[in-house]
Each structure stands twice: as C-alpha cells, then as structure tokens.
Structure 1
C-alpha cells in the first residue's frame, strides 16, 4: 500500500509546508491570526492549533504502537488532548515552536519506521473512547492528508488577506 520511503517523503513535505505556512502567517499581527474567518476551527490560529492537537493525538497513539518507536518517547508524558480545539499554546510564537517540535518528531519517527512496523496494525481509542484497530498505512495516509486539508484552508485564508504562501504542490518540494 505505502512504503517507508513514502512516509519519509511525506514527513519532509509536511515540515516544508508547515515552515512555509508559518513564515507567511507570522507576518500577521496576533489579532489577525485570531480573527474569526469562517473556517472549521474559526481562525488561522485556531486551525493551526487544531493541526497541533490532531498531530499530538496521532503521535501519542503511534507512541503506543507495538514497534515501540523510541523517537516518540518525548510524547509519552504529554497529556492526550481531550478536544480537537483544545488550546495547546499561548500566542503565535509558542504555537510555532510547538509545530517545529512536532514536525521534527514526525521526521525522526519516519526514519525509525520499518517495513515490519508498517505491517502491524495500530490499536487505539478514538475521542469517544471506542477501541479501534486500523492498518498503520491507513493511519499514516490520514495523518498526512489531514494536514494537507487544513493547510489548504489556511492557505485560502491567507490568500484572502493578500498573502501568498507560494507553491504548495508536493512535486514543488525541493530535493533533500
């Protein structure tokens, strides 16, 4: 279905796009970032925060995977967010710092991923506490697709403010 190389490529793309998005969003004052704009999570900062929440949730679930990913050890002591809009940082600088930390973890984790681990299911509990078991490739496709979905929303909101993030296509990512 997917390979470890695919996951590594997507982890790099995820970091590249988040760097670009935060660079442009960081030119706005906090009030503009917090202004309600009709997005799923209200504002630019609300959507950026939601991505941190969702990534934290999925990375914590991955930390419990039978492969025992050492790179995700720093997340084991972080509380599982209880809501998809739970504020995880106070202000843009703190949000950005947390984003950089998570993106570094995702890249480190992708380098640790093996075909054997990729072949194992991920057992976890959803936000309603219901037990789930999903093939790890499906979980990872969801993780990266979810990021792309909400980054697209933020890119649109920034564009409406006259700000251009530039090329966002995966094929436009510079070679490693």
Structure 2
C-alpha cells in the first residue's frame, strides 16, 4: 500500500507545514488565537492543540514513546498558549521524522494494534492504513487552521506538496 519512503516524505511535509504554520500563528494576538470561531475545536489555538495532540498520540503509538495524556475532549487545552505549544510541536515533529527514517524504503506491511480510548477497546488495523491516517489527520486540521487564518486576515502557509523545499 505505502512505503517507508512515503512516510519519510510525509514527515518532511509535516515538519515544513508546521514550521510555516508556527510563523503565522506567532503573528496573531492571544485574543485572535483563542477566539471561538465556530470550528469543530473552537479556536485557532484549540485546533492547533488538537493537531499537536493527534500527532503526539499517533507517534507515541508508533515509536512506543511518551504520549500526551488525556483524550480527544482534552486535546483542545493541551497547551495553555503558543509559547508552550511551539517547542512541543518541534519536539513531536522531530520524533515523527526520526521514526519515519527508521522505516527504511520498503513496503509497510502487517497489522498494528493499540488501545483506543475513544472507542474504549483494542483496535487492530493494517499498519500502512494507520500511518496514512496520521498524515491525513494532520492535513485535515491544518486545512481548518488555514481557513481560520484567512478569516482573521492573515496570510496562510503554502500547502502544496509540490512546492515543498528539498531540505526542510
């Protein structure tokens, strides 16, 4: 279905996107970051927190490292502010990149199992599908952030994969 090379490219893309996103978020006031905008996770900060939480929970499953704690409802308040969010985001992005590099270039095969707190049960799915889900989840919520940035009159990150620099 997919290869380790795909995961490596998507990890690089994730790091590039979050780096750009961080720059735009830092241009906003605390009020702009926390204003409820009617999005699924409320505010820009709530959505950024959920994006980070999702990355963290998935990489903790894949690399067996520390996770963020809490569940989906708690994800919106993962970090109190952008000053707390930024270094954690960089750390998690580095974990994702390191994990992806460890996969090699070969096809990702086999099943992957974890306990889903959301479903309150053990889940087993194809490993490749879980990896695709992590990267798709990132893109979905960055799209929401892009929309909210546009609504506040901010520029927003270039998100086209074909424009990703060779070195991030």
What TM-score do the two structures reach when normalised by structure 1? 0.87
**Matched residue, 2:110:** 120
Task: State whether structure 2 residue 131 is matched by structure 1 residue 140.
Answer: yes
Q: How well do the aligned residues superpose, as a CA RMSD in angstroms?
A: 1.7
Question: How far apart are the structure 1 equivalents of 2:57 and 2:70?
Answer: 7
The runs of 5 or more residues in structure 1 that have no matched partner are 65-72
* Deviation at residue 118 of structure 1 after TM alignment: 2.6
**More RCO (CA 8 Å, sep 6+):** 2
**Matched residue, 1:35:** 35
**Matched residue, 1:169:** 160
* Deviation at residue 175 of structure 1 after TM alignment: 1.0
SS of aligned partner of 1:171: helix
> Quick check: 1:33–1:44 contact (8 Å CA) kept in 2?
yes
Question: How far apart are the structure 2 equivalents of 1:104 and 1:85?
Answer: 23
> Quick check: 1:121–1:135 contact (8 Å CA) kept in 2?
yes
Number of residue pairs matched?
Answer: 165
**Matched residue, 2:19:** 19
**Matched residue, 2:150:** 159
* Deviation at residue 129 of structure 1 after TM alignment: 1.9
